[in-house]
């Protein structure tokens, strides 16, 4: 089992919990909070934001990435995702791809549920082969 002993996850859990309370998920009723730890120690939280046109739903993870990038952060150390799923739910494929744009394969990801269970992964384990784009010219 993967262990991330050095990182204090409590501030990320608090941030994700606060974000989850703000989740807008009237269709799925699957509230999600995410907290992204920037390399400089700042934490950026995100909640899922659904839409009546389901395809427009924004996941909590991408919401957190957008908040961080908007604040000028592009390098990250860890991500925590909080749901009520058991086992704790991982990011969807779209979010995994988005995370690979800014995060190294060794990004620590902790999946937590409201009962307190958690699972730890590295981004590279969840998404080993991201899309690679090399512009011509």
Distance CA 70, CA 74 (A): 9
Catalytic residue among 21, 42, 50, 61: 61
Residue 17 in contact with residue 43, Cβ under 8 Å? no
Closest CB to Zn ion among residues 37, 47 = 47
Closest CB to Zn ion among residues 6, 63 = 63
Where does this chain touch Zn ion (CB under 5 A) — which range of 9-17, 57-65, 66-74, 101-109?
57-65
Per DSSP, the three-state class of 1 is: coil
Q: Show the tokens assigned to 118.
A: 């958690």
DSSP one-letter code for 116: S
Closest CA to 51 of 63, 34, 41: 63
Chain residues 20-39 in contact with Zn ion, contact rule CB under 5 A: none
Q: Is 61 a catalytic residue?
A: yes
Residue 47 in contact with residue 20, Cβ under 8 Å? yes
Q: Applying CB under 5 A, does 92 fall inside the site for Zn ion? A: yes
When binding is defined by CB under 5 A, the residue of 15, 16, 59, 109 that contacts Zn ion is: 59
When binding is defined by CB under 5 A, the residue of 12, 23, 32, 95 that contacts Zn ion is: 95
Which residues of the chain form contacts with Zn ion (CB under 5 A)?
59, 92, 95
Active site residues: 61
């Amino acid at each position: 089992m993967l262990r991330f002993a050095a990182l204090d996850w409590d501030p990320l859990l608090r941030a994700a919990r606060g974000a989850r309370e703000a989740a807008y998920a009237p269709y799925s009723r699957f509230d999600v909070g995410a907290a992204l730890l920037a390399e400089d120690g700042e934490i950026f939280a995100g909640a899922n934001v659904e839409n009546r046109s389901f395809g427009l739903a924004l996941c909590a993870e991408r919401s957190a990435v957008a908040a961080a990038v908007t604040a000028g952060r592009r390098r990250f150390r860890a991500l925590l995702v909080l749901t009520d799923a058991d086992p704790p739910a991982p990011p969807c494929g779209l979010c995994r791809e988005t995370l690979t744009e800014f995060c190294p394969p060794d990004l620590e990801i902790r999946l937590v549920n409201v009962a307190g269970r958690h699972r730890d992964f590295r981004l590279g384990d969840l998404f080993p082969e991201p899309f690679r784009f090399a512009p011509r010219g």
